Amino acid sequence: DIQMTQSPSSLSASVGDSVTITCRASQSISTYLNWYQQKPGKAPQLLMYLTSSLQSWVPSRFSGSGSGTDFTLTISSLQPEDFATYFCQQGYTTPGTFGQGTELEIK
Amino acid sequence: EVHLVESGGGLVQPGESLRLSCAASGFTFSSYWMSWVRQAPGKGLEWVANTKQDGSEKYYMDSVKGRFTISRDNTKNSLSLEMNSLRAEDTGVYYCARDVGPNTLDFWGQGTLVTVSS
């Protein structure tokens, strides 16, 4: 199975800050990388697919990049509703393994 | 509007069985792969199993192979997960999700909690 490693595991930031979360795959996954957002007590929501394509509900302050094994999720100008846990997931092979998550907290 | 509603969770003892169900609405169920994903308390997401549109292909994570069976009934817009020989490490919230491929889960249910404990 492909292993997905996210960093950092947690992150504190303030409203208005810009943050970047990194996801690394144990082997090349081309651009088959998804990002999910999960808020406490709620189901995850697909945020971004194929590395950089935003779901329709996602504001443009979210962006993604990368290919092969290294990927990033960047949130510019953090808003209060962005504080959540973010998971990456590879879609290259089954099982579609997830990263361990990055908890984004308000500083 | 896409809607996925899981049911069937509960408290069981190790070695026992449980059957989860997921009722789908708001989309053409038979046109999509469907998946189960679980989340242990306070932990991350773990892909469990998925099934092709017509049920002809099914895939499982290694630790549930031979114990869990995913199935679907396209006439009832329903997805199921039969779980046997349950272990403490199977404890968690189980989500069903629509898979728009590849392994991209665009809609999720609210989840159902499975607790395996003596």
* Mean per-residue pLDDT of chain B: 97
Model pLDDT for residues A24-67, shown as the tens digit of each residue: 999 999 999 999 999 999 999 999 999 999 999 999 999 999 99
CA within 13 Å, CB half, B20: 32
- Cα gap A9→A19, rounded to integer Å: 13
Quick check: B15 and B86 in contact, CB under 8 A?
yes
Show the tokens assigned to B19: 């059957």
- A→B contacts (Cβ < 8 Å), by residue, are 1, 32, 34, 36, 38, 42-46, 49-50, 55, 87, 89-101
Measured in degrees and rounded to the nearest 5, phi and psi for residue A8 equal -75, 175
Q: How confident is the model at residue A11 (pLDDT cuts 50, 70, 90)?
A: very high
- Tell me whether residues B104 and A91 touch, CB distance under 8 A: yes
pLDDT for the residue numbered B19? 98
The average pLDDT across A11-22 equals 97
How would you write the pLDDT of chain B (118 residues) with one tens digit per residue? Answer: 999 999 999 999 999 999 999 999 999 999 999 999 999 999 999 999 999 999 999 999 999 999 999 999 999 999 999 999 999 999 999 999 999 988 999 999 999 999 999 9
Q: Is the dihedral of CA A93, B66, B58, B11 positive or negative?
A: negative
B28's CB contacts (< 8 A; 6+ apart) are none
Residues of B in contact with A98 (CB under 8 A): 44-47
- B→A contacts (Cβ < 8 Å), by residue, are 35, 37, 44-47, 50, 59, 61-62, 95, 101-111
pLDDT for the residue numbered B115? 98
Of the partner residues B62, B102, B108, the one whose CB lies closest to the CB of residue A44? B108
Model pLDDT for residues A65-106, shown as the tens digit of each residue: 999 999 999 999 999 999 999 999 999 999 999 999 999 999
pLDDT for the residue numbered A35? 98
The average pLDDT across A14-23 equals 97
Of the partner residues A42, A44, A91, the one whose CB lies closest to the CB of residue B45? A44
